[in-house]
C-alpha cells in the first residue's frame, strides 16, 4: 500500500468494535462442547432475555428482543433465535469477559477492554467466535483506530504489514499473539473441538476454503459532534487502511475517481451527512458525528439486528465457499457416496437457510443487498447451482452405466442358462459330490457350470455391495448429521 499525504484526520472519541472469526468444529462433539461452554459461564442466548445486555455490549447499551423479532421475516427468525438447543438453527452462547489488555505496536501502546465473547454454533459444522472490544482511551485519531483493527484481526500474521503487534496482559505481564490470546488465554477449551485439515497448518486448517487468516472487523465509531466525513476517511474505514509499517498514515488508493466508484458500491449514506455505514469484504463500520446519547437506538440496532443480518450473510459466504472447495476435492473414481452427501448438503442448505429476503425493514433490505454484493454471494451461489447440476449429471451417468452393466451380465446369464438349461450338471451337485466329477464334464457342461457359479457369485456380489453401500451411507450420515 502506498503512502500519501492526501489523508484527512478524524478524531474518534468512542469506539465499539467486534471481530468475528469463522471456525469449523466437530459436529459429533456438539453436546460435549455445549456442556463445556456452560461450565465456562457461557449463557445460551434467548431473544426474550435482555437482563445481561449491559455486560455484553458495553455501558448503557441494550438489545431488545422485540426489535430482533420485528426485524427478520418469520421463517428467518426461528432459525436465528432457536429457543432450545434441540431446535435447528444458530445456537449462540455468550460470556462477559470485562478484562483489559494492551496492544503494543511499534512505539505505541493502546489499552483495550474485551467486553464479551460469543460462540455461535451455526448449522453444518460452522461456528463463529465474536470478540467485542472497546478502546479505553477517550480519544484516538482514525488512523490509530484502523491500525488497531488491522492488526487485531490477524489471527496468524505472515505479511510484513501484519507483523509486530504484541498483546500484553497487565496483571501478569505475559506477551501474547492474537491467536494465543483467543485460544490459550480466553477460550482454551475450544482447541480440541476445532477441525483441522491434514494438509494445512495453524488456524487456517480449520476452514481450508476460507480465503485468509483474519477476522472480519466490525465497529461503531463516534467522532466529535458536527465533524464532517470525507471520502478518503470512509474509504479507509472499508479497507482498514491505518498506518504503514514505517509509521506513516496511508491509504491504498490515490485516485479520487476510484475512491468515489468504490464508495458507490460499499457506502450506505441514508443518514448522511451525520452517519455513514461502510460494508466491504473486510469490514462493516458505522461512523457518526452525533453524540452517543442521541444514538443509543442506532447502537442497539448495530449490536443486535444488523449484527445478525451480517452474521447470516457471512454464514452464506462460508457455506458457498465450502461447496466450491469440496467439489474440487472429489475423487470421481472413488467418492460416489461423497458425491451423494454433497448433493444432499447443498440441497438442505438451499432449502432451509438460503433466502434472498431476510428482513422486513427497508434499511435491513438495503444492508442485505450490500452484504450480498460485498461477499459476492450471488455469483458464488450461481457457481454452486452449476456444481449441483454437474453432480446430478455425474450421478445420473454413473447410475446409468451401472444399470447397463448389470443388465448386460443378467442378459448373458439368462440367455446362456436358457439355451443350455441348468439341469446338465445340477444332479452332480447332489451329495455325495467330489471335485473329480468336474474334470469329466463336456464342453456344454462346463458352460453350464460357469454360468451357474457366475450367476450365484453375481447375486452374492450385488447383495453384499447393496447392503455395504447402505451401511456406509448410514455411517456417513451419522458422522455428518446435517444439523439445521
pLDDT per residue as tens digits for the range 62-82: 888 888 888 999 889 889 999
How confident is the model over 259-283, as pLDDT tens digits?
Answer: 999 999 999 999 999 999 999 999 9
CA dihedral 57, 62, 64, 70 (to 10 degrees): -70
Domain boundaries, the chain: 11-320
Q: Does residue 134 have a pLDDT over 80?
A: yes
Gap between the Cα atoms of 352 and 275, Å rounded: 35
pLDDT value at residue 396: 66
Rounded mean pLDDT, 409-435: 59
Q: Does residue 356 have a pLDDT over 70?
A: yes
Rounded mean pLDDT, 360-367: 93
State the helix-helix crossing angle for 362-374 and 305-328, rounded to 10 degrees: 30
Residue 211 neighbours by CB distance under 10 Å: 10
DSSP 305-366: HHHHHHHHHHHHHHHHHHHHHHHHT--TTT-HHHHHHHHHHHHHHHHHT--S--BSSHHHHH
pLDDT band at 240 (very low <50, low <70, confident <90, very high): very high
Residues 101, 174 contacting (CB under 8 angstroms): no
Q: Does residue 386 have a pLDDT over 50?
A: yes
pLDDT value at residue 341: 77
DSSP, res 18: E
Task: Choose between 387 and 80: higher pLDDT.
Answer: 80
Range in 164-168, 293-297, 327-331, 378-382 with the lowest mean pLDDT: 327-331
pLDDT value at residue 397: 64
Distances (CA, A) of 279 to 214, 264, 359, 460, 467: 16, 11, 17, 61, 52
pLDDT value at residue 200: 43
pLDDT band at 205 (very low <50, low <70, confident <90, very high): very low
Range in 15-19, 175-179, 204-208, 279-283 with the lowest mean pLDDT: 204-208
Q: Does residue 245 have a pLDDT over 70?
A: yes
Rounded mean pLDDT, 218-237: 95
Q: Does residue 42 have a pLDDT over 60?
A: yes
Q: Does residue 233 have a pLDDT over 90?
A: yes
Residues 28, 479 contacting (CB under 8 angstroms): yes
Task: Choose between 347 and 36: higher pLDDT.
Answer: 36
Rounded mean pLDDT, 195-209: 55
Return the percentage of the chain with pLDDT > 70, whole number. Answer: 75
pLDDT band at 253 (very low <50, low <70, confident <90, very high): very high
pLDDT value at residue 199: 46
Per DSSP bridges, beta strands 283-288 and 216-223 are parallel
Q: Does residue 18 have a pLDDT over 60?
A: yes
Q: What's the grid cell of residue 395?
A: 450421478
pLDDT value at residue 145: 95
Query: Mean of the per-residue pLDDT values for the chain?
Result: 83
pLDDT value at residue 388: 72
Gap between the Cα atoms of 237 and 247, Å rounded: 18
pLDDT value at residue 366: 96
Select the highest-mean-pLDDT range: 83-92, 270-279, 324-333: 270-279
Task: Choose between 125 and 464: higher pLDDT.
Answer: 125
pLDDT band at 434 (very low <50, low <70, confident <90, very high): low
pLDDT band at 201 (very low <50, low <70, confident <90, very high): very low
Gap between the Cα atoms of 50 and 140, Å rounded: 31
pLDDT value at residue 425: 53
The pTM for the full model equals 0.83
Amino acid at each position: 500500500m502506498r503512502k500519501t499525504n492526501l489523508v484527512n484526520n478524524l478524531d474518534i472519541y468512542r469506539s465499539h468494535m467486534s471481530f468475528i472469526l469463522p471456525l469449523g468444529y466437530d459436529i459429533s462433539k456438539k453436546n460435549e462442547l455445549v456442556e463445556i461452554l456452560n461450565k465456562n459461564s457461557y449463557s445460551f442466548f434467548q431473544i426474550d432475555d435482555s437482563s445481561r445486555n449491559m455486560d455484553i455490549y458495553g455501558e448503557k447499551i441494550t438489545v431488545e428482543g422485540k426489535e430482533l423479532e420485528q426485524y427478520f421475516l418469520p421463517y428467518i427468525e426461528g432459525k436465528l433465535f432457536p429457543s432450545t438447543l434441540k431446535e435447528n438453527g444458530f445456537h449462540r452462547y455468550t460470556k462477559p469477559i470485562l478484562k483489559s489488555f494492551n496492544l503494543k505496536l511499534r512505539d505505541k501502546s493502546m489499552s483495550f477492554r474485551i467486553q464479551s465473547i460469543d460462540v455461535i454454533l451455526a448449522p453444518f459444522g460452522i461456528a463463529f467466535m465474536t470478540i467485542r472490544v472497546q478502546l479505553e482511551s477517550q480519544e484516538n485519531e482514525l488512523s490509530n483506530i484502523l491500525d488497531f483493527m488491522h492488526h487485531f484481526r490477524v489471527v496468524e500474521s505472515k505479511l510484513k504489514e501484519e507483523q509486530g503487534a504484541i498483546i500484553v496482559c497487565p496483571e501478569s505481564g505475559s506477551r501474547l499473539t492474537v491467536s494465543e490470546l483467543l485460544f490459550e488465554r480466553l477460550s482454551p477449551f475450544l482447541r480440541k473441538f476445532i477441525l483441522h485439515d491434514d494438509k494445512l497448518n495453524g488456524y487456517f486448517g480449520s476452514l481450508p476454503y476460507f480465503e485468509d487468516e483474519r477476522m472480519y472487523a466490525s465497529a461503531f465509531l463516534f467522532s466529535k459532534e458536527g465533524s464532517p466525513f470525507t471520502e478518503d476517511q470512509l474509504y479507509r474505514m472499508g479497507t482498514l487502511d491505518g498506518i504503514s509499517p514505517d509509521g506513516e498514515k496511508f491509504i491504498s488508493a490515490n485516485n479520487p475517481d476510484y475512491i468515489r466508484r468504490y464508495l458507490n458500491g460499499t457506502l450506505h449514506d441514508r443518514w448522511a451527512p451525520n452517519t455513514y455505514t461502510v460494508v466491504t469484504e473486510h469490514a462493516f463500520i458505522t461512523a457518526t458525528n452525533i453524540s452517543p446519547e442521541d444514538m443509543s437506538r442506532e447502537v442497539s440496532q448495530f449490536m443486535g439486528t444488523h449484527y445478525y443480518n451480517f452474521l447470516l450473510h457471512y454464514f452464506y459466504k462460508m457455506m458457498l465457499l465450502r461447496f466450491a472447495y469440496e467439489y474440487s476435492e472429489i475423487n470421481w473414481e472413488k467418492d460416489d457416496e461423497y458425491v451423494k452427501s454433497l448433493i444432499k448438503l447443498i440441497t438442505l442448505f438451499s432449502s432451509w437457510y438460503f433466502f434472498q429476503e431476510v428482513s422486513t425493514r427497508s434499511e435491513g433490505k438495503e444492508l442485505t443487498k450490500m452484504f450480498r454484493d460485498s461477499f459476492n454471494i450471488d455469483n458464488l451461489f450461481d457457481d454452486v447451482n452449476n456444481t449441483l447440476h454437474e453432480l446430478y449429471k455425474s450421478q445420473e451417468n454413473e447410475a446409468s452405466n451401472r444399470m447397463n452393466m448389470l443388465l448386460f451380465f443378467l442378459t448373458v446369464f439368462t440367455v446362456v442358462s436358457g439355451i443350455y438349461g441348468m439341469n446338465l450338471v445340477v444332479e452332480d451337485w447332489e451329495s455325495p459330490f467330489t471335485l473329480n466329477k468336474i474334470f469329466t464334464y463336456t464342453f456344454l457342461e462346463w458352460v453350464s457350470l460357469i454360468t451357474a457359479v457366475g450367476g450365484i457369485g453375481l447375486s452374492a456380489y450385488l447383495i453384499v455391495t447393496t447392503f455395504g453401500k447402505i451401511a456406509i451411507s448410514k455411517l456417513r450420515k451419522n458422522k455428518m448429521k446435517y444439523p439445521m
